[in-house]
Chains A and B, each alone.
Chain A
Amino acid sequence: MPEEILVIGGGPAGMNASVMLSEIGVNVTLVEKDSFLGGNPEKFKYKFLFPDLQPAENVIGELIKKTGNNSKVKVLLNSQISGFKQTGNKFDVAIKSPQGDENKIFNSVIVATGFEHFDPARDAKYSYQLFDDVIDIKDLEKMLGEGKFLRPSNGKPPRNVAFILCVGSRDRHVGNQYCSRVCCVVSVKQAIELKEHFPESDIFIFYMDIRTYGFFEDLYWEAMEKHDIQIVKGRVAEITSGPDNTVVCKGEDTLLRGPFEIPFDMVVLASGMEGGPQSLEMADKLGLEMDEHRFLKPRNITLSPFRSNIDGIFLAGACTGPKAISDAITEGAAAAMSAHIYAQKNP
């Protein structure tokens, strides 16, 4: 009898795990709560991916195609896990889907519930939702994807744009002490895209540390050296309305040790990643451990980052912490391998 493996979540990690498993002949059931595959990249219409600015279509579109047109992968959209029980080495799962409710025994389970973008409205100092011209990176990503480069308030090209890093990250005030890892490089990427579209506009990045780790550094250097994007050290404490339909960023330039209140045409908040309610829900239903950052907790962060506290349940992608799409895809493959081995050893 072929193995049956359950994948929860249809983002990059879940899709890649499903595709990998299907290629070694495993029957996969992919449960996705949204009405589409692709997770956050698809939801917010990511257009170009860092670090090489390749079209997201090459990555996400490709995975969706491979997952959707796969006889071995049963994709259940708009679906939920309604019941979960461990029976011996296997898992008895009740799935609620538009195609009807079903109960099925699975050899192993991969949880890839991903992340949620931090909602900047939760942090009042950034005046998100108060001013049209204060947007965040996911809004801008969507705008860029739709070919909209103009100011949301009046449809004119922005003369100057500010990116504010570490929104919802590295901030006890909002309860997130961790670094969300990708916001720096996403901001730098978007700054380049904006600058390429509006060579006349001035773009500033307010930072505390710029963490474009590994080879992402190349993009950061390119932003400065090719596109004249200016970095300014200091976090912004307040955004208010300014003259001529501008928004004013109030902060401290920590290098010059002086206060600034600079009016901008557009402010982009580099909001971070959060575990989201879906991971919490899975933790409750499946009995998984959460860490202090409200992400799912791997058994051993270094030795087995894709293994959960329960044998037979594996973790992949951003549900265990903020990470880049490439990392999520790698973890999808790693979890697929581990899930397959578990199924083989526990027939």
Chain B
Amino acid sequence: MDREKAPKRPVAEKGEHIIARHMVEDENLREEKNLVIDGVDVSGRWNTFILSRVDSDFDRSFFREIKKTVVGSRINRCWQCGMCTASCTVTPLYRRFNPRAYIYMMQLGNLREIKKYIDVAWRCVGCYKCSQKCPKQVNPAEMMEALALLIKKYFPEEVESKLKDDEKVKKIYDDMILGNGRLNLATLHTKSLREMGRGMELFSKVERDAIFKMIKDGRAFSVLMLGKSSGWSKSRKAIEKYLKNVEGMERIP
């Protein structure tokens, strides 16, 4: 019987003494370690607060901020028809990736909602199907860039923690493009897995089968033959210069 008993928890779980705890979302709970209100120490049970679950403000300062950027300048045009999400390449893969909803959240300054989507919100692949089809010429594809900038500005820690792997892959990708002027998918794949600490997966059956298949149809050799683009060092300099400027332009004031 003793073995079945749960081990004693060293720290209390968030809001565990709330009777209807299942009705409160984690992010709506606030607990301070040492809280003093009006000179009274309210540590312990009394310092659990449940945030309002109702939206009680439309923060338009946010909308104005987005509107000032080059990529987000048409945010005022959106009337939420959903053509962007309907035409999106990514939504069928990530249901939670919804450009229409993200634009709306930006319009209403609903950072609390946006925060829920930090992991997927910047999965836009930049195919521009949405921008091509948008009846109001909102340019949703670039609006997703505005969103990414905004998430980076307002939620730096979340981006840091939730998008750690993505940042690593991005660096490998950037280095590869800048270094060689070419994308070598095989290298990107192996390097990324290794960088994420999943190097062992390269020896799994799926990977082995894939490599065998590529050797068989000859693709493996063409991959190995991929070198630098000719005269790349000149292009590289120009691109680096351009990127420097873009970084300056994109920054939200």
Query: Interface residues, chain A, CB within 8 Å of chain B?
Result: 160, 202, 204, 210, 221, 224-225, 228, 230-233, 253, 255-256, 258-263
Bound: A6/B174 CA distance, A:
83
- Closest Cβ of chain B to A88, distance in Å, is 58
What is the size, in residues, of chain B's interface with A at 8 Å between Cβ atoms? 21
A156, chain B: closest CB distance, angstroms = 19
In the complex, whether B222 has a CB less than 8 A from a CB of chain A is: no
Partner of A256 from the list B56, B79, B110 (CB cut-off 8 Å) is B110
CA distance A210 to B80 in the complex (A): 12
Q: Hey, which chain B residues are within 8 Å of A259, CB to CB?
A: 53-55
Distance between Cα atoms of A263 and B55 in the complex (Å): 11
- Identify 10 residue pairs between A and B in the complex whose beta-carbon atoms are under 8 Å apart, listed by A's number: A160-B58, A228-B63, A230-B58, A230-B63, A231-B79, A232-B108, A255-B104, A256-B108, A262-B56, A262-B58
> For B192, what are the chain A residues with a Cβ–Cβ distance below 8 Å?
none
B54 touching A260, Cβ below 8 Å? yes
Please, how many angstroms separate the alpha-carbon atoms of A261 and B54 in the complex? Answer: 7
Besides the known contacts A230-B60, A232-B108, A255-B104, 14 further A-B residue pairs in the complex with CB atoms under 8 A apart = A204-B58, A225-B136, A228-B63, A228-B67, A230-B76, A233-B80, A255-B80, A255-B101, A256-B113, A258-B113, A260-B54, A260-B55, A262-B57, A262-B58
**Contacting residues, chain A, for B54 (C-beta < 8 A):** 258-261
Tell me, rounded to whole Å, the shortest Cβ–Cβ distance linking B46 to chain A: 25
| List of A residues within 8 angstroms of B107 by Cβ | 230
**Distance, CA A204 to CA B113, complexed state (A):** 19
Q: Which residues of A contact B104 (CB under 8 A)?
A: 255-256
Chain B 82-109, CB within 8 Å of chain A: the 1/0 string? 0000000000000000000100110110
Give the distance in Å from the alpha carbon of A76 to the alpha carbon of B67 in the complex. Answer: 57
A256 CB contacts on chain B under 8 angstroms = 55, 101, 104-105, 108, 110, 113
A253 and B55 form a contact (CB under 8 A): yes
Could you tell me the distance between the alpha carbons of A259 and B53 in the complex, rounded to whole angstroms? 8
3 residue pairs, one from A and one from B, having the closest CB atoms: A260-B55, A202-B60, A228-B76
State the CA gap A255–B113 with chains docked (Å). 12
User: Which chain A positions have C-beta within 8 A of B115?
Assistant: none
Give the complex CA separation of A210 and B56 in angstroms: 24
Q: Which residues of the other chain, B, contact A261 by a CB distance below 8 angstroms? A: 54-56
- In the complex, B153 has a CB within 8 A of chain A: no
Chain B interface residues (CB < 8 Å from chain A)? 53-58, 60, 63, 67, 76-77, 79-80, 101, 104-105, 107-108, 110, 113, 136
B136 partner residues in chain A, CB cutoff 8 A: 221, 225
Residues on B with beta carbons closer than 8 Å to the beta carbon of A253 = 55, 108
Assembled-state Cα–Cα distance A230/B58 (Å): 10
B51 CB → nearest A CB, Å: 13
Tell me, in angstroms, the Cα distance from A259 to B104 when the chains sit together: 15
Give min CB distance, B42 to chain A, whole Å: 24
Interface pair A258/B76, CB less than 8 Å apart: no
Measured CB to CB, the closest approach of chain A to B142, in angstroms, equals 17
List the B side residues contacting A260 at CB < 8 Å. Answer: 54-56
Residues of B within 8 A of A255 (CB): 80, 101, 104
Q: Whole-angstrom distance between the alpha carbons of A262 and B52 in the complex?
A: 13
Q: Give Cα A273 to B77, complex, Å.
A: 30
Q: Which of A204, A210, A258 contacts B55 (CB 8 A)?
A: A258
Name the residue on B nearest A230 (C-beta).
B107
B contact residues around A232 at 8 Å (CB): 58, 108
Rounded to whole Å, the gap between the CB of B132 and the closest CB of chain A is 19
State how many angstroms separate the Cβ of A42 from the closest Cβ of chain B. 35
Report the minimal beta-carbon distance from A16 to chain B, rounded to whole angstroms. 35
CB nearest to B107 among chain A residues:
A230
Which residues of A sit under 8 angstroms from B60, Cβ to Cβ?
A: 202, 230
Docked complex Cα distance between A202 and B105 (Å): 16
Name the one of A160, A225, A233, A263 contacting B77, with C-beta atoms under 8 angstroms. A225
Considering the chains assembled together, what is the distance between the CA atoms of A128 and B53 in angstroms? 27
Which chain A residue shows the least CB distance to B74?
A225
Closest Cβ neighbor of B67 among chain A residues: A228
Chain A contacts for B113, CB-based, 8 A: 256, 258
Closest Cβ of chain B: how far from A252's Cβ, in Å?
10
CB distance from A241 to the nearest CB of B (A): 14
Using known A-B contacts A224-B76, A225-B76, A255-B80, determine if residue A230 contacts B108 with beta carbons closer than 8 Å: yes
- Closest chain B CB from A163 CB (angstroms): 14
Indicate if the CB atoms of B79 and A224 lie closer than 8 Å: yes
CB-nearest residue of chain A to B61: A202
A262 engages B79 (CB within 8 Å): no
Residues of B within 8 A of A231 (CB): 79-80
A-side contacts of B63, CB under 8 Å: 228, 230
**B110 CB contacts on chain A under 8 angstroms:** 256
Across-interface contacts of B79 in A (CB, < 8 A):
210, 224, 231
Shortest Cβ distance from B232 into chain A, in angstroms? 44
